[in-house]
Structure 1
Amino acid sequence: MQAAVMAVTAGSSGHAQTTVEARWKSEALPLLETYCYDCHGDGIKKGELALDRFGSIKQMQQNREVWKRIRDHLKHRLMPPLDEDQPTVAEREKLLAWIDDAVFPVDPKHPDPGRVTLRRLNRVEYQNTLRDLLGVEVNIMDLIPPDDSGYGFDNIGDVLTLSPAHLERYLEAARVALDKTVKPGAMPPPETRTNGRDLKGNGQRSEEGHYLFKAGTAETVYRPLRRGKYQVTVKACGTLGGDGPPAMELEIEGKKVHEWKVDAPMDRPKDYAHEIRIEEKEPLSIGVSFTNDFYDENHPDRSRRDRNLMVNSITITGPLDGPPLPKPESHRRIFTERKPGENDRAYALSVLNQFARKAFRRPTRDGEVTRYLELVSLAKDQGVEHGVRLALEAMLVSPSFLYREEPQPEPDNAKKIHLIDEHALATRLSYLFWSSMPDQQLMELANRGELRKNLAGEINRLIADKRSRQFVSNFTGQWLRLRDVPSSQPAKRAFPGFNPRLRDAMRRETEMLFAHVIREDLPMTTLLDADFTFINEDLARHYGIPDVRGGEFRKVELKDSRRRGILGQGSFHLLTSYPLRTSPVLRGKYVLENLLDTAPPPPPPNVPQLEPPSRHGDQRSLREQLEKHREDPSCASCHALMDPIGFGLENFDATGAWRDRDGGKEIDASGELVDGRKFHGVDELRKVLVEDHRSDFHRSVASKLLTYSLGRGLDWYDKPALDKIVADTEAAGGSSRAMLRALIDSVPFQYRRGDS
């Protein structure tokens, strides 16, 4: 052992380091020898871990991932194993403190903001940004491949790659969005299309269209813009019957105006068009009728025994006469008024400069926009608007749009730390709260260099804006796993009353609680112990809460304390149960991982799952089965962390409904945490979390928020930032707004450094 101590001493220098080395000899090493070396020293390396192989503090720092796991196992009492001698609380704290000081040293006076990977917009951010940039609603989610996740979130720079397939899809999405936004050249007459599945009338509907298998009508209500000529185009197909094809009549307000013989086969529908005149600017019914139904099962030609009609869609175009309609607002906001005498090149450059400043979320650089004029010149024969449209497509797939750029003075110098500029700050704020680009007010403040002076007011404005619903849905959807709720499906035979409408209500309840806490600046622990919730009649009935009527959600004061906070909500119980039964293990793991930032390690391989309840299966209670399972030493430590929490929640079944008995046996909802604290039921468990683990909860939320806002996983050098966020939050009584402000004021959010 003396040789190892000498090696550690020889590998370091400086007064502070000498103190750490002295503590290694007097404090850390004796504890490791006493409690750890039987399995991880003196030539033994159980689990491939040998502590005595680290000859110096420098070697330990070069293997920080290993020491992070060592620290986590010590902190969470996973090591030493429960059947071995345990260090006292003071000894455990002393060893943890030494690991922090020696292996993970931080200097609060010189904090490290960490590395930020150049981050691509994920597909939610891309869609929202297109909406706010172009001023039109576009749905391009199905066009772009799903994003990978890291550290629990899908906006992490290290995993947001850009493949050729991505770029091709982004270009297609840009074209779809610009088709809706920009109308170059003469303004075409507007079109109103109604798919067959949305038509009213007889028959059956599917994704393919409206199927008329006997005489009947498929119709829609159309609201003309003015009197004039219109064209009705019906996409249809059919099956032959008897002596010919289906007959399809065009009807206006129930009166026949035209007839077609639909000769298109079912696998190749075609358009049937007819021009009409509309005299009144009032809604009117436009539809088609199938008039020559035929069915003869004995017809000698099998292909002509049944005549049917399929209406795929009805499109109404017009008015076709009179003055053209004005260009849409989305077009006019891009193509601003042209100055007298301005030539095409100057006008195109002006339009593109204005668009680029918004799209790139910063001032344009010298010559940056001029190169896009090459694309404008490609369409000079069609007119300047067509050329600008090509350039806009290119801008929407350029790195400056697809990536969140943050200029660095010395990008390759890891020691160069600088304050991000105000345009980068505006972008960080808007994508945190809106998952979208900065609006005009943020950009104007950044242009004037006044954003930081007005930060408090802007944070409040961003949160009050309806676009902050994106923060609620995207952050809670991943932190609390609410995105997984739609795929949670309790077994019908075990829970026949459960339905998708109820499941959707559970997700909305949790989202509304989080939104209310942030909007009203309530303590963050309100998420755990709120004496109110947001429910509708379906959810109230499921929870057994009286006097709630109707499908609308409303705030309801809770007289029943067991429904308080996240632990009493159905979304939590759905996510932590199997289709046929609850899972104390999953519930305990969820609380540790998502609410206390104490993720247990993965289970050892080849550990069998417990059998689901059945008439002929294991007749022991779930608690008894888990206690038997914990007799395995390789499982005991982790389950000692998770199981007691889950036991305290066993009165909730897999759908979140309350129960007092399970399988004919009364439920035992008592538990004992690894620190010796005992509790019974959800009320006492909640009290333990709020009173004894308030700081752990604050740290967990702050950690998740910082990860989400930075787009990277946190590391050991982020400890001072997290410490300050938690301290500022608790100094403000746990205020959720104080936590967000401390997050935004933090060094990692306000500063950045280069890469090594």
Structure 2
Amino acid sequence: MQPFRTLYPKSKFLAVAVLSCLFCFAMARAEGLVARWKSEVLPLVEHHCYDCHGDGSHKGDLSLDDFGSIAEMQADRERWKRIRTHISQRLMPPSDEEQPTSEERKKILRWIDAAVFPVDPDNPDPGRVTLRRLNKIEYENTLNDLLGIKIKVQKLLPPDDSGYGFDNIGDVLTLSPAHLERLLRTARMALDKTTHPGPMPYPTQTILGKSLKGSGRSSGRGHYFTQNGESSGSVNFTKAGRYKLRIHAGGTMGAKQAPLMELYLNSKKLKSWEVTAPLDRPDFFEIEVNIEQAEKQELAVSFTNDFYDPDYPDPNARDRNLLVAGMQITGPLDGPRSNKPKSHRQIYGERSHFGSDEAWATDIFKRFAQRAFRRPLEPGEAERYLHFVRLAHKGNQSAEHGIRQGLEAMLISPSFLFREEPQPEPDNPKLIHPVSEHVLASRLSYFLWSTMPDGALMQRADKGELRANLDSEIERMLDSPRAEEFVSNFTGQWLQLRNLATSTPSSKAFPKFRYALSMAMMRETQMLFAHMIRQDAPLTDLLNSDYTFVNERLAKHYGIKGVSGDKFQKVSLKGTPRRGILGHGSFQVITSHPLRTSPVLRGKYVLENLLDIAPPPPPPNIPQLKPPTKKGSALSLRAQMEKHRDDPRCSSCHAMMDPIGFSLQNFDADGSWRKTENGKPIDVTGELDGGREFQGADELIALLTKDHQNDFLRSVSSKMLTYALGRGTDWYDKPAIDRIIKETENAGTGTRAMIKAVIRSVPFQYRRGDG
């Protein structure tokens, strides 16, 4: 095999041999790549790369000699992604070596893109998405919307893994035995709150023990009697009839005798009991009574045999007391039972008196599955759930109980837990097809709402009309309060707002900082992004908006006057040093250490989250910097970092990150503004690649907005597409991202416009077989 250096060299025979390896390319394209390699790229690679990575050298475990053809490069695209990244981000050649000019870098990168990562804009590859399990947030939202309840279940489930910065990535959302066990337990708990098979209980009123009035004393556990006495509560008997009265009580034995408890209704004694249940495990004591007319009456309980003897031989029997934890009044027992709850009626519906149990159950399963599985049931699919109805009959239970078991089975079915995307030829990677209307409805709903499609979306999909009405549905969904899920879940991960819960400045260094302030900072950034969506404001507002949203607590922290109360309001930032997200406390706190700011974390954040440039991880065994001290002889943080950058292992990455972080040093680790550090003026000058100098946050923001707008839009579109698809973007997604950016720019870079462009994109609308 010929080494990389001799790819298309002087030998005419070798040129012919290599061209035969380029069967997948048109001849003209191949000849153009050959010519460009010989004239433009090979001399640069020889001059700048081969001392370390060619002619037998393989520094960093990379040898360009390993690649004898373009086909071999394409077979190892993951390595070539890293090569391309290091060249584009000026990490290679090392900073202490001679550097290619900007134009020379572009020549190398353009050739790598054309040869190793060729794309056809006219025939883009939509990629494939791994079968995705619902993450915890999606599962909770879907369960609540499906069952018509509000129940918190996220804490009951194992944590979700993240990939590409998001927790909805199909490749990392595994399903372990622990998941299955807890999902089954959660499904049962949710259905217990939703459905009530069998007869409903009679109406019940409850009087808490702590609400009783009279002698004794109340506490959280109930009403205590330490001496003889009586306490009571009012009961509204709405109808005449037979009622069951139950007293929940416990006590302590005194002189080996249980406390006596008497029950009275309107001063008439009904019954007395010896309360043998212990104080820490109360039991029920009950009686049935006949109420002759509907009226409010007084129900009283008394303690009649108090005993206390500190000299009694048995120390455990020296004090006799009574605890009344509560009272229940059920009935009338000869009247109608309670109505089934709304959630039950929505699932079971109205039964026809003429149909069979199985016909009724089939209708329920079809309705429920259409929503739970986000698609209609396949022919014969309902049969597997009718099995539970037949089992209930064999066990002398009602059809309602069997249906309840069938619903439970649906809630742990892969069709519910996973987002299915049926394909005509799943194993054919060359077959590209539009996703079905029902799949499109699910993609839309989980992208914008983090939950199942609502009735309107499903109706459009059922009729095959969703694509024809896509823009109006997107507008409706973005205008819905449910779109808050997109704001919180997308920004919470893309902008790392979730990290605020654990990124707390030191209470010693910042004694006035409180958790409520941290949450206000999170809300500020969320409200800015939500406003940008609502108003279709330019995406660049995230970088340079001269307005924000604050409450009194946050306004006081920022030094903004005229804001009072806990309610957030839009305010102008004119006359303040704050602009966009880099002026938000959320950004400043999560990019700081507890005791000090971190220019590295701030620079890394801007590169990764706003420009989609990921610096490589730091080399091992690099000592941590010490926070600045108040000693005049101590090096400032900037001086320490400049000394740190003298290490060749660190200089390339830090040359990218540090200048950005230094320009933001006026913002302290708690998000407050400062001009000095330990009594000395803060140096906020910086210089980026190409010698572009800037000073302070305002000039950095202007630089990002003016010179890096395309990089910013590409970063946002890549992050948004990743979140929408549940997979990382790859080299073949470049045409789609280019198209998203173009459509967004044509619409004035509006935030809502980019969301629409992502939804209209080929990867969102199409997919190919797995293969």
Structure-1-length-normalised TM-score: 0.90
Q: Distance in 2 between matches of 1:539 and 1:413?
A: 55
What is the CA–CA distance in structure 2 between the aligned matches of 1:658 and 1:259, rounded to whole Å? 72
Q: Which of the numbers 733, 746, 754 marks the counterpart of 1:731? A: 746
Describe the superposition over 1:536-587 as per-residue Cα deviations: whole angstroms up to 9, x where unpaired: 1111111111111111112222234422211111111111111111111111
2:625 match: 610
Residue in 2 that maps onto 1:270: 282
**For residues 527 and 198 of structure 1, what CA distance do their matches in structure 2 show?**
53
Q: What residue is the counterpart of 2:639 in the other structure?
A: 624
Change (3 A) 1:491 1:324: same
Label 1:661 to 1:202 Cα distance change in 2 as closer, same or farther (>3 A): farther
Aligned to 1:526: 541
Q: In the aligned structure 2, how far is the partner of 1:141 from the partner of 1:235? A: 33
Asked if 2 retains the 8 angstrom alpha-carbon contact of 1:240 and 1:308, the reply is: yes
Q: 1: distance between equivalents of 2:647 and 2:759? A: 46
Structure 1 counterpart of 2:21? 11
5+ long unaligned stretches in structure 1: none
- Code of the residue aligned with 1:399 in structure 2: it is P
Q: TM-score, normalised by structure 2?
A: 0.88
Query: What is the CA–CA distance in structure 2 between the aligned matches of 1:727 and 1:162, rounded to whole Å?
Result: 39
The CA deviation string for residues 168-191 of structure 1, in whole angstroms up to 9 with x for no partner, is 221111111111111111112467
Q: Which moved more, 1:699-708 or 1:32-41?
A: 32-41
Alpha-carbon shift at residue 31 of structure 1 (Å): 0.9
Residue 113 of structure 1 corresponds to 126
Q: Does 1:344 align with 2:353?
A: no
Cα 1:246–1:75 shift into 2, 3 Å: farther
Tell me the C-alpha RMSD between the 2 structures. 3.8
Question: Post-superposition shift, 1:292?
Answer: 11
Counterparts of 1:166-565 in structure 2, within 5 Å, are 166-189=179-202, 226=238, 269-272=281-284, 318-319=330-331, 321=333, 322-380=335-393, 381-565=396-580
Q: Would the alpha carbon gap of residues 476 and 192 (structure 1) be closer, same or farther in structure 2, given more than 3 Å must change?
A: farther
Label 1:751 to 1:306 Cα distance change in 2 as closer, same or farther (>3 A).
farther
The Cα offsets for residues 459-478 of structure 1, whole Å up to 9 and x where unpaired, read as 01111111111111111111
Is residue 2:683 matched to residue 1:668?
Answer: yes
- Cα distance, 1:634–1:300 mapped onto 2, change above 3 Å: farther
Distance (whole Å) between structure 1 residues aligned to residue 308 and residue 637 of structure 2:
61
CA contact (8 A) 1:540 1:548 kept: yes
How far is the alpha carbon of 1:704 from its aligned partner?
Answer: 0.8
Stretches of structure 2 that go unaligned for 5 or more consecutive residues are 9-13
Contact 2:234 2:298 in 1 (8 A): yes
Distance 2:546 2:211 in 1: 44
- 1:36 is displaced (CA, Å) by 1.4
Q: Which residue of 1 aligns with 2:11?
A: none
Change in 2 beyond 3 A, CA 1:27/1:663: same
Percent identity, aligned pairs only, is 58
The one-letter code sitting in structure 1 at the alignment partner of 2:674 is R
**What is the SS of the residue equivalent to 1:142?**
helix
Residue of structure 2 equivalent to 1:634:
649
Report the Cα distance in structure 2 between the residues aligned to 1:669 and 1:693, rounded to whole angstroms.
20
Distance 1:754 1:119 in 2: 15
Contact 2:209–2:327 under 8 Å retained in 1: no
Q: Deviations over 1:626-680 (max 9, x none)?
A: 1111110000011111111111111111110111112222211121112322111
**Shift of the alpha carbon at 1:247?**
9.6
- Relative distance call for 1:211 and 1:699 in structure 2 (3 A) is farther
Residue 556 of structure 1: SS of its match in structure 2? strand
Question: 1:100 is matched by which residue type in structure 2?
Answer: D
Contact 2:366/2:376, CA 8 A, preserved across alignment:
no
Alpha-carbon displacement from aligned partner over 1:374-427 (angstroms, at most 9, x marks no partner): 111111222111111111111111111111111111100000000111111011
Q: Contact 1:506–1:570 at 8 Å: present in 2 too?
A: yes
2:729 alignment partner in structure 1: 714
Q: How big is the shift at 1:99?
A: 0.7
C-alpha displacement of 1:437: 0.8
Cα distance in structure 2, aligned partners of 1:574 and 1:310 = 51
Q: Which amino acid aligns with 2:282?
A: K
Moved more, 221-230 or 527-536: 221-230
SS of structure 1 residue aligned to 2:710: helix
Alpha carbons of structure 1 residues 273 and 539: separation in structure 2 relative to 1, 3 Å: farther
State which structure, 1 or 2, has the greater radius of gyration over its C-alpha atoms. Answer: 2
CA distance in 1, matches of 2:270, 2:90: 82
CA pair 240-73 structure 1, distance change in 2 beyond 3 A = farther
Query: How far apart in 2 are the matches of 1:726 and 1:29?
Result: 33
Q: 450-459 or 340-349, which moves further after superposition?
A: 340-349
Which whole-Å CA distance do the structure 1 matches of 2:532 and 2:66 have between them?
50
Contact 1:4 1:52 in 2 (8 A): no
How do 1:621-700 residues align onto structure 2 when only pairs under 5 Å count? 621-700=636-715
Query: Cα gap change, 1:549/1:38 in structure 2, threshold over 3 Å: closer, same or farther?
Result: same
SS at match of 1:679: strand
Tell me by how many angstroms 1:17 deviates.
Answer: 2.0
Cα distance change, pair 437–289 in 1 and its aligned pair in 2 (3 A): farther
For the pair 1:575 / 2:585, whether they are aligned, the reply is no
| Cα deviation digits, residues 254-297 of structure 1 (max 9, x gap) | x999999876667x633445679999999x99999999999999
Give the 3-state SS of the residue equivalent to 1:159 in structure 2: coil
Count of residue correspondences: 749
Correspondence for 2:140: 127
- CA offset at residue 522 of structure 1? 0.7
Does 1:29 pair with 2:15?
no
SS of residue matched to 1:712:
coil
Q: Is the 8 A contact 2:250 2:276 kept in 1?
A: yes
Instruction: Name the amino acid aligned to 2:73.
Output: M
Question: 2:763 — aligned with what?
Answer: 748
SS in 1 for 2:100: coil
Once residues 260 and 587 of structure 2 are traced to their aligned partners in structure 1, the CA distance between those partners, rounded to angstroms, is: 56
CA shift at 1:319, angstroms? 4.8
- The answer for the alignment partner of 1:587 in structure 2 is 602
Residues 213 and 74 from structure 1, CA distance in 2 versus in 1: closer, same or farther, beyond 3 angstroms?
farther
Q: Distance in 2 between matches of 1:663 and 1:289?
A: 71
Cα displacement (A) at 1:12: 2.1
Contact kept in structure 2, 1:143 and 1:169, CA below 8 Å: yes
- Assess, with a 3 A threshold, how the Cα gap between structure 1 residues 560 and 214 changes in structure 2: closer, same or farther: farther
How many angstroms apart in 2 are the aligned matches of 1:285 and 1:604? 78
Per-residue CA deviations over 1:504-541 (Å, capped at 9, x if unaligned) read: 11111111111111122111111112222111111111
Q: Which moved more, 1:635-644 or 1:34-43?
A: 34-43
Change (3 A) 1:421 1:656: same
